[in-house]
Amino acid sequence: MTTAITTRSAQRCFGGTQGFYAHASVSTGTEMRFAVYVPPHAAGAKLPALYYLAGLTCTEETFAIKAGAQRLAAELGLVLVTLDTSPRGLDLPGDSASWDFGVGAGFYVDATEAPWARNYRMYSYVVDELPAVIEANFPVSPERRGITGHSMGGHGALVIALRNPGRYRAVSAFAPIANPMAVPWGEKAFGGYLGADRAGWEAYDASVLMARTAFPGEILVDQGEADQFLATQLRPDALERAAAVSGQKLRLRRHDGYDHSYWFIETFVGDHLAWHAERLR
């Protein structure tokens, strides 16, 4: 597995560096772009890292530009890693036909159906390949990883943590697609990437996974009550039911008046960074 990276740009930010990078991915067979904020730190230090998975149509730049997280990360000594939401540049049939499937909408699964199976392997990319790249090129501790995300990325963060509890010491989510098997976004994506057999979808549904096995630690989820996708696509009530079955410690906070936008994320990102920093010390 290659760990060589290309620096696209790097800027000083709150005493640290916000950089944007690319590398040749084995998982996707394409160039993958990612961004890393490294806070000020002592020479030789190995820092905890928080991986952020973005939502539909977003890129590695979205959180870095919109969330206002660097100031807090600098204060907390936390590396922030963001990544693109799908392979790009493949020109597969139909991959740009809609905004909620294909380019910008990898759903953090390993596809099994043609023509997606060869390249749409975002689950493996996030779990295995990207951490190896980050830990080989940045001052990051392999033992201190957290993961979070928004919407489609919240789904990905929950699924990845629940399936790989030994790799992550903390997990949180903003407005996650909590039960994708039961909502239109998930049915479209899973049907296309994973095929018609719904039994195969269960490995990528956070509510199904949580009902079976609890993550060894409390999970933080924030949800806006004015979110335009709340009832039709997100279904946080499914997470609550799953937590009751498995005994999962779940802190699901509902916020009046907040929608699905980055204004919501910017409001509560400080809570999430503090949550992870405390658990990754």
Average pLDDT over residues 87-107: 97
Strands 79-83 and 31-38: antiparallel
Q: Is-catalytic flag, 151?
A: yes
Q: What pLDDT is stored for residue 257 in this prediction?
A: 98
Q: How many CA atoms lie within 13 A of 122 on its CB side?
A: 31
pLDDT above 60 (res 1): no
The burial of 255, by beta-carbon neighbours within 10 Å (0-12 exposed, 13-18 middle, 19 or more buried), is given as: middle
Average pLDDT over residues 172-186: 98
Distance CA 28, CA 1 (A): 12
Residue whose pair of structure tokens reads 């799908």 in the numeric block:
86
* Catalytic site residue from 25, 27, 86, 151: 151
Q: Is-catalytic flag, 260?
A: yes
pTM over 0.75: yes
Distance CA 198, CA 163 (A): 18
* Catalytic site residue from 86, 207, 227, 276: 227
Name the pLDDT band for 271 (thresholds 50, 70, 90).
very high
- Check if the beta carbon of residue 76 is closer than 8 Å to that of residue 89: no
CA-to-CA dists, residue 113 to 84, 192, 197, angstroms: 21, 7, 11
The backbone torsions φ and ψ at residue 11, rounded to the nearest 5 degrees and listed phi first, read -130, 145
Question: What is the helix (H) or strand (E) element at residue 153, kind and residue range?
Answer: helix 152-163
pLDDT tens for residues 34-77? 999 999 999 999 999 999 999 999 999 999 999 999 999 999 99
The token duo for 75 is 């204060």
Percent of the chain at pLDDT above 90?
Answer: 99
Average pLDDT over residues 12-19: 98
Distance CA 97, CA 101 (A): 8
- Check if the beta carbon of residue 116 is closer than 8 Å to that of residue 105: no
pLDDT above 80 (res 2): no
* Catalytic site residue from 23, 150, 155, 260: 260
Q: What pLDDT is stored for residue 244 in this prediction?
A: 98
The token duo for 74 is 């600098």
- 172 closest CA partner among 127, 217, 211: 217
Distance CA 200, CA 135 (A): 31
CA–CA–CA angle 240, 241, 247 (5° rounding): 80
Distance CA 230, CA 207 (A): 15
Q: What pLDDT is stored for residue 227 in this prediction?
A: 98
Average pLDDT over residues 116-145: 98
Q: What pLDDT is stored for residue 253 in this prediction?
A: 98
pLDDT tens for residues 105-119? 999 999 999 999 999
Distance CA 258, CA 247 (A): 28
Q: Is-catalytic flag, 155?
A: no
Q: What pLDDT is stored for residue 211 in this prediction?
A: 98
Average pLDDT over residues 168-193: 98
pLDDT above 90 (res 3): no
The backbone torsions φ and ψ at residue 160, rounded to the nearest 5 degrees and listed phi first, read -65, -40
Average pLDDT over residues 182-207: 98
pLDDT above 60 (res 196): yes
